[in-house]
Amino acid sequence: MNTRFTPDVQKLNPKFEGYKLSPFKEATNLIRFPLDNIQVYEPTNDQRLGFRDLQARIRHSNLIYGHPLDQNRGSAFCIDQEFNLHMIVYDKLAKKINTYLITELMKPLGGLPAFVEIDNTVPIEPQLPSAVSVSRALLLASNGVGDIELIGLEEKNGDVLGTSLGSVCYLGVGNEGISPVPCMLLTARQIKTKIMLVVYSRTPSKTTEFNIATLELDIPNPDTEKLDDGSFVLLLKTLHIQTGPEVPVYSAITPSGKCIFGSEVRYNQVKLSQNEEQEDTATPMDIVQEKEKSRKDIYQWSQEGADITVQFQLPDNTPKSAVNCKFVVDHLSLLVQNSSISYPFRKLWSTIQPEESLWTIEDRTLTLFMTKADEYTRWPQLFDKDDGIMEALSADHLSDIKDRLAKFTSNDQSDSSSLVPNPSFVQAAQHPAATDMDEDIDDTGEPVVFSVYDYRGKVVDEFDSGNYRWICSSFDTANKIPSVCLQMDVDGLAFTLTEVGDKIQIQHAATFDAFSFVQASKRDARFIHHDAYFYFTSIIESSRNAYLYYHHDDKRLEEVQTLIDLTQGHDVDIIGAQFLFEKNLLILTESHLVLVCLD
């Protein structure tokens, strides 16, 4: 492997003397917009997170890049505490900010019911809500608990309207013990009629491990099937999943659909099929279908009117005490000790009446009897996320089951204990990150390894930063692969990444004089970025100031730096920053939007 990050000596400025502090012209170049009716999402503080989890969350910007509406109007998005998606539009001619309520995302349910006790490796903690702009008309959004929505945007009569075109559930690898799997969007890109996206989630492990999944979603068209509520039926395909101990500091999708992940560690590919020989020749869709096929014998189910019947075959000599089953209005919690039956908290397709639902065991068969809340609604599948298991019980079989149900329900109350699960075999719930709070962290810094993955997850190119320490990537910009900034002595060297065949071409594009030195001198530096056009670099604190460092290509002896007091001494946090378009930077605090014009 070679670093391929080679400095262009013509772009170095060894005679640079320093930065000259210049007051920022707030009266003409800064707009403060109060968030009177928007309370930006803030996670609860009742979660114990490992270092790598916290590191990824600190890097996350609650202000989401949006594609420009035209050459004079830039946009961004944010998600509030009620999971409403808001669009922020800045008109640079009018020097005015407007906000628009786009849509309400799917709200996560509350915490797990008190009776649900699951293994301490199950990644039940929700991730932060996130979104990625795909185009002027499309945006992907996640509520943090595994639901991913495709949002359509339209400008009409001076207003910006939005609606959820459809939603999908992220199922992860399948061994997490929870479905859907809490995840967070990293990046996405439209490629012809499809959207490629990357999410990360926790693995079912006592130590901090992450799955980095590359997924594919078809963009709906007029021929796409619709549900009764008018939303499209969307299909989410898993292309490949990489696993490792940290979330990549750099993630991008190239125009041809390759993924680039930059991290201090190399990732290992997760095998999505148990049959390795078939996996070598199978397409991603084959892998998904094979995975679904292997699960079709787990249970059988049928429905008649308000009644739903589900049957599982148990291992020999399975006692009633090994079954832990609880019914919730729209979820099923089912665990059977020493078996493959594991549904810790699985969302049902619709709602049921828990008080009218029960379970029995007879002749190695576990039978669940659930009563629908709406007897006139026919369920197309048992769970919210279709696992491919269709109704399988014949009418005669169903009649026989009903006769046995009548026998069970006519027994004396003293025998009803057989219907009550014994959860004693399940360990007490524990936050999976609680075991790795004291993990060793290497603070000396390692080279960042950039791995390029093709459609199936094969590494087709790889290079690292060598002796150059990672500083930052550029702000998101429409249809551009983010550039990177690496340390060389006291300077920051900016490199562009361009796709050429299967390889990535790297070019030294700019030198940010002494930027590595000033960055190292800042104790509080939450958001560090440069713009895609190499006009400036920024270091934004978590609660007070933004430091901006201007850049020119003429090798001048002095450059200008400026300081902006974002919060004006108020006790609020700075929670996001995004580049709108050339020389316009938008910063989000808990109480205000701050628009910085760098003309």
Give the model's pLDDT for residue 582.
83
Strand 18-21 versus strand 558-565 pairing type: parallel
Is the domain defined by 9-107+126-292+445-597 classed in CATH 2.130.10? yes
Is residue 454 scored above 90 in pLDDT? yes
What region, left, alpha or beta, does residue 479 occupy, with left being phi > 0 and alpha being psi -120 to 50 degrees?
Answer: left
**Cα–Cα distance measured from residue 342 to residue 177, given in angstroms and rounded to the nearest whole number:** 7
**Cα–Cα distance measured from residue 543 to residue 171, given in angstroms and rounded to the nearest whole number:** 37
Span of 50-64, 101-115, 430-444 with lowest mean pLDDT: 430-444
Q: Map out the domains of the chain as residue ranges.
A: 9-107+126-292+445-597, 295-433
Note whether 9-107+126-292+445-597 and 295-433 share their fold: no
Q: How far is CA 68 from CA 239, 260, 580, 581, 584, in A?
A: 30, 25, 7, 7, 12
Is the domain defined by 295-433 classed in CATH 2.60.40.790? yes
Is residue 502 scored above 90 in pLDDT? no
Give the model's pLDDT for residue 42.
78
Residue in 70, 97, 71, 72 with CA at minimum distance from that of residue 86: 97
The 10s digit of each residue's pLDDT in 545-572 is: 999 999 999 999 999 999 999 999 999 9
Tell me the Cα Rg of the chain. Answer: 27
Give the model's pLDDT for residue 205.
86
The 10s digit of each residue's pLDDT in 398-438 is: 666 666 656 555 544 444 333 333 333 333 333 333 333 33
pLDDT band for 63, please (50, 70, 90 cuts): very high
By percentage, how much of the chain surpasses pLDDT 70? 84
Inter-residue contact 146 to 185 (CB < 8 Å) = no
The 10s digit of each residue's pLDDT in 293-340 is: 444 468 999 999 899 999 999 988 888 888 989 999 989 988 888 888
Give the model's pLDDT for residue 252.
98
The 10s digit of each residue's pLDDT in 237-271 is: 999 999 999 999 999 999 999 999 999 999 999 98
Q: pTM score, two decimals?
A: 0.74
Higher-pLDDT residue of 66, 405: 66
Residue in 262, 252, 198 with CA at minimum distance from that of residue 476: 252
